[in-house]
Amino acid sequence: MDRQIESKVMSEKYTANEWATMQGGHTLETKKKFSFIRDEITEARYIRTGADALGRDMTDVAESFFEQLLMLQQMRFENPAFAKKYAKDTLKFMNFNGIKPGGTDLHNLASILNNPGKYKGVTSPGSVRFDELGFKRYLRDISSGRDNIAMDRTFLMKSQKNLGIDSSFLKQARRVSADYGRSNPGERSGLSARMVNSQRVDGKFRSDISKQYMGTVKSKKLIPQDKKLPLWAKAAAGFATGVAIGKLID
């Protein structure tokens, strides 16, 4: 009788597979509560719904998209595993017809650019063109680990023009990112420092790529420490002038 009661209690507490495992003399592998939180999540934190786009103009949306695009380009070299997963997640819905709560921030920003008349809260001071086919090709190459430097360089340059990017920071960031494999340590440090500093503006640090980017910059020590000058000043100087920071420190 006691054994029947025990069996009933155990069957209610465990699944059939778990119960069978224990009955066979094997230990049951358990997971700590909320362990799923440690899993790498790539879904929108910056632009989750259309309401998050209210009050923005298309220039702001285009710059935010382009900045995250360049961060992804740098991550192809510094954290390829994350870059592949992020590109795959961005392509999850197969199109860019609208903002998706489960999409990446890059997906949702692209969806606004691809449907300028759909989001009434976004004012448009000028014409912005979005190359959806080129963007999909670019993401597929990243997710599959394919490198095509010439095509990527052309795509990033074309995107800069189509989106009407006028920021000197983003233009220089595009030059370094497009040829990141051939860039010097000073250029990489300067790019990283300016990108990290930019994340403090307009809540961009909330984006799903920002946390991973800043974590990679820190773990790879892409921004060198210097006691003589503030870190941001030295990195920015090297980035703007093209002078390697390592040489300046020496």
Q: Where are the domains of the chain?
A: 44-167, 184-204+212-250
Hey, what amino acid is at 98?
G
pLDDT score of 86 more than 90: yes
- Predicted local distance difference test score (pLDDT) of residue 120: 66
Higher pLDDT, 184 or 45: 184
Higher pLDDT, 238 or 160: 160
pLDDT band at 40 (very low <50, low <70, confident <90, very high): very low
Higher pLDDT, 245 or 57: 57
Burial class, 200, CB count within 10 angstroms (exposed 0-12 / middle 13-18 / buried 19+): exposed
The pTM of this model reads 0.74
Q: Which of 6-20, 30-44, 225-239 has the lowest mean pLDDT?
A: 30-44
pLDDT band at 111 (very low <50, low <70, confident <90, very high): very high
Q: At 142, list the tokens.
A: 């990243």
Task: Say if CB 102 and CB 43 are below 8 A apart.
Answer: yes
Higher pLDDT, 131 or 18: 131
Question: pLDDT digit string (tens) for 188-208?
Answer: 999 999 999 999 887 788 899
